[in-house]
Amino acid sequence: MKVKHYHREYDSYKTERQWALEGFLVAENVEGIELLPSKQSKQPCKYYKPDEVRPATESELQAFFQPEKERRREQARAYRKARLEREQEKRERELEEAKWCAVEPYKKKIEELSMVINALDNDPSTAIAMNFEATGYEYGDELLQLSIINFKGDILFNSYFKPKKHKEWTKTEKENGITPEMVANAPQTSDMANQIVAIFNKANLVLHNNQNYFDYLFYDNNIIFQQKYREKINVNKILSKCDNFELPKDSLEKCQAILKIYKEKLHWIEEDK
């Protein structure tokens, strides 16, 4: 039998749920009628006329609607879960994007620095690590020792100097351990100036741990550079971030430590620029 569409003839007919909303439940042993709710409907619904329903108690109505309430609660839980998952996925995407944005400049910088280091490895004399010890740190003071190594750690220069004017240097002697007796037979800076200048003039990068007064100190000691190398990096910036680390007392060992610090902690210097 062909299912009919719902129309005015059935105005008094209602579905089981529609009757329940009005406080009625379908009576026992009634058949009802299947109707298509609209012309677009493909699935028929069971409708009941007024004499096929009975008044329902509050508890009966609660029991009738309980499965529907459970379905709605389950749907709400599923919706909340899906929404939370979408929000979590969004946060994770945003976090990954933020990480990428934060890291990308450093990745590029690391690549650039790696290229610099590779170039320095190929021509290690273009970068030097140096350390000097002096009678003091003011104008008029004199060099007592100078140590220079290249980027591979090869020793380019390491010598004591006999000062011309100073006979003692009590304060710095306690720091560097260099006594007047140790330099009594050493050359003077003027004797070694050309050799030192040649090393510095070839360098593009000078690593040191002294404050930026070594230019004038060298000038006072007749060691005059062409201002060519001109990138000086003071590793004290790194040392200030290292816990419980002290440079060795020996000048040459300081050079080696300076070079090692620079290679291992180079990114700290770049972050401070």
Q: Is the pLDDT of residue 25 over 90?
A: yes
Q: List pLDDT tens digits, range 2-14.
A: 667 777 888 899 9
What is the structure's pLDDT at 243?
A: 60
Q: List pLDDT tens digits, range 180-230.
A: 999 999 999 889 888 988 888 888 888 888 755 566 567 666 676 665 545
Q: Name which residue leads in pLDDT, 141 or 61.
A: 61
Q: Name which residue leads in pLDDT, 38 or 212.
A: 38
Q: Round to whole Å and give the CA distance between 203 and 201.
A: 6
Q: Is the pLDDT of residue 273 over 50?
A: no
Can you tell me the mean pLDDT for 264-270?
Answer: 56
| Average pLDDT of the chain to the nearest whole number | 83
pTM for this model (two decimals): 0.53
Q: Of the spans 19-28, 169-178, 215-224, 256-265, which averages the highest pLDDT?
A: 19-28
Q: Are β-strands 205-208 and 232-234 bridged in parallel, bridged antiparallel, or unpaired?
A: parallel
Which range is least confidently modeled, 13-27, 31-45, 109-123, 132-146?
A: 109-123
- Positions of E strands within the chain: 4-5, 14-15, 24-26, 33-36, 45-48, 53-55, 127-134, 143-150, 155-160, 205-208, 232-234
Among residues 2, 1, 48, which one has the least CA distance to residue 25? Answer: 48
Can you tell me the mean pLDDT for 41-68?
Answer: 94
